A and B are shown apart, each in its own frame.
Chain A
Amino acid sequence: MNYTTLTFSAAVMATAFAFSGCGKKSGDSASTSAGSDAPKKKMTEIRAKGSDTMIQLATAWAEAYRKVDPNVMINANGGGSGTGIAALVNGTADICNASREIKKEEAEKIKAATGKDVKETAIAYDALAIYSNKANPLTDISIEELTEIWAEGGVDENWEQINPAFTGKIVLIGRQSSSGTYDYFREHICGKTADKKQREFRQGISELVGSSEVVENVVKTPTAIGYSGMGYKTPGVNWLKVSKKKGEPGVEPGIDAARSGAYPISRKLYIYTVGEPEGETKAFIDWVLSDAGQKIVAAEGFVPLK
């Protein structure tokens, strides 16, 4: 669950604190052995902030990277991609994990605040799965139908409009507006209005503060539909196969489908830094892109780059 990972990141933070305060007294074997090699080498802290979708991935990286370089402490926090980018602007984070591309105005804000261009590194693929309750017999859904379900002014409000075999008002469960998942889903599902502007979500969607909370609520709500990352599937929910147009066969979210683009709702995940990454940050990002880092990507339910 997301809360556990949050607690874990809090624990990571607390440890980072303890370490920076009393590195010498540390009981951690890895750190003491490194300390004996280079007794005056300082602990470096890399502050990572951003996407809630990527928080499990980020904490898993942080944990694994301690074995790679015990002198570097990755402090991974969530809050949403927008929050992470805001942290780059304010200088309260060194790297931002983002589940969407940076917006033009955000890049300009970083340039204005720091004088440097933001640097983008794609690190994984993610497919947004459409979750429905086990009680719902529906197996396939099209982007066209999803638009009518989620977008403002959409016509589909009841399940019988999608599939006569299931009735009830559709309960929409999504993410809060600071998450990259929210932005991404709005852009790719709600589509454009007649005057070529972004069509907004309809009102009355439960905007929850966490990827696993979305799935948790779909489990408890028979008539629900929700969107969340692929890594959050539990036994109580179904994945809907997604097609572009109504009537076409749907594609199940999966590694190959996400990477090839056959699955219509897949996206890249990014790490953003202010300027070219340097020193320990560069070493960390290089490691993330290496086989070891990408193995963790797969283990956390995301899709590795290669």
Chain B
Amino acid sequence: MHDSAHTTPRRRRLPLIDWFEKPIELLIRISGWSSIIGVVTIFLFIFREAAPMVPKLDWWQFFTSPRWIPSPGAGNAPSYGALGLIVGTFATTGLALLVAVPVGLGAAVYIAEFAKGKTKETLKIVIELLAAIPSIVWGFIGLMILGPLLQKLFVAEAGSTWGKIMVTLHLASTETGAAQPTNLLCGGIILALMSVPLIVSLAEDALRAVPDSFREAALALGANQWETVRRVLFPAARNGLLAACLLGMGRAVGETMAVLLATGHSNRIPEALTDPVRTITATIASEMGETAHGDPHYQVLFILGIVLFIITCGINVAADLIIKGVKKQGHA
């Protein structure tokens, strides 16, 4: 390649480029590799910090007990039961997905297939703006606006019908309704709002990647627009849509500041939709500052970090494999 570059007349006129080419090539190569180096170093770092605790930790207690007392009073042994935190993380994420997936896919279908011209462009820009709102702001919205709103919705007199319905359906743990403004539901909705933009833009890409010939064929067969979307586009873009949802889920699992403010940050196994919860991420964020380097508490927080890392890695790898599946299908 180097020789051929010399033979082209343009290269001969600009010898400086030749001189610069090698370092620039190296720089680009390093940039390319840096992400892999980054991921590996991060994992090694987290693991190194957590490693001394791995053989010492009571893993059974860690995964089955909700008793989390990492900095106990004088004379007491700490209790590292993370069940409440793990359940809290999955509960908020699951709820977020329940809300975000239908809304996100619906919005993507509308933007990709139905909206035209200016509406389409405006929607795309607004959704991108939504993605740019910092998570602490989402947290504030949860604490100051959404929480009190939900509290007004889920309220009843003790013994009233609505109160009884709420308890039966596990909407609230008591007949008087939601006690706290910040709770599982509030956190879940905030997380949903945060992951919707990601789901929409990825799902829209997946839908757009479906060749127009599919649409034309469907219309030629007499399908209306809705039938085309449901019977042709969804199956064709299935993998891409699934990947979009999984990446949205990854966003929800890893979110910290918003859930710290919006979930109530209370360590317990939630019994109802409006019970407060506490997530792994929020626990790490609120407790990391106090711990001395190398402390058992510090190491346990890193183990929580590993748990989180494994969850998000699993989601991302799953999404990746699914996207690869799409490509293979495309080539075949």
Interface residues of A (CB under 8 A from B): 79-80, 82-83, 86, 89-90, 103, 109, 167-169, 171, 176-178, 183, 186-187, 190, 196-201, 203-209, 216-217, 220-224
Contacts and interface: CB of A to CB of B under 8 A. Distances in A.
Contact of B179 (A80, A198, A221): A221
20 contacts: A80-B289, A82-B71, A82-B290, A89-B292, A168-B179, A176-B265, A178-B287, A178-B291, A196-B75, A197-B74, A198-B74, A199-B73, A206-B276, A207-B265, A216-B143, A217-B180, A217-B181, A220-B181, A223-B179, A224-B180
Contact of A206 (B70, B265, B289): B265
Given A186-B73, A187-B73, A197-B75, A203 B267 contact: yes
B267 A209 contact: no
Contacts of B289: 79-80, 83, 178
Nearest to B81: A203
A196 B66 CA distance: 24
Given A197-B75, A204-B268, A224-B179, 5 more contacts: A80-B289, A86-B290, A178-B290, A207-B286, A222-B179
Given A168-B174, A203-B267, A205-B266, A221 B73 contact: no
B135 interface: no
Interface of B: 66-76, 84, 143, 147-148, 151, 158, 173-174, 176, 179-182, 260, 264-268, 276, 278, 286-287, 289-293
Given A220-B180, A221-B180, A177 B287 contact: yes
Contacts of B290: 79-80, 82-83, 86, 177-178
Nearest to B297: A177
Contacts of A86: 290-292
Q: Most B CB atoms within 10 A — which of A168, A187, A204? A: A204
Grouping DSSP codes into helix (H, G, I), strand (E, B) and loop, the B interface class, with mixed when no group exceeds half, is: loop
B140 to A, nearest CB: 9
A28 B123 CA distance: 47
Contact of A169 (B71, B75, B173, B260): B173
Contacts of B71: 82, 177-178
A169 B266 contact: no
Contacts, number: 101
Nearest to A169: B174
Given A203-B67, A205-B266, A198 B72 contact: yes
Contacts of A223: 176, 179
B72 A203 contact: no
A85 B104 CA distance: 47
A86 B261 CA distance: 25
B73 A197 contact: yes
Contact of B66 (A168, A198, A203, A205): A203
A178 B295 CA distance: 14
Contacts of B287: 176-178
Contacts of A169: 173-174, 179
Contacts of B151: 220
A185 B158 CA distance: 32
5 A-B pairs with the lowest CB-CB distances in the bound complex, closest first: A198-B73, A178-B290, A204-B268, A82-B290, A206-B266
Contact of A176 (B66, B72, B268, B286): B286
A80 B74 CA distance: 18
Nearest to B71: A177
A203 B179 contact: no
Contacts of A79: 289-290
Contacts of B174: 168-169
Nearest to B151: A220
Contacts of A186: 73
A205 B84 CA distance: 12
A82 to B, nearest CB: 4
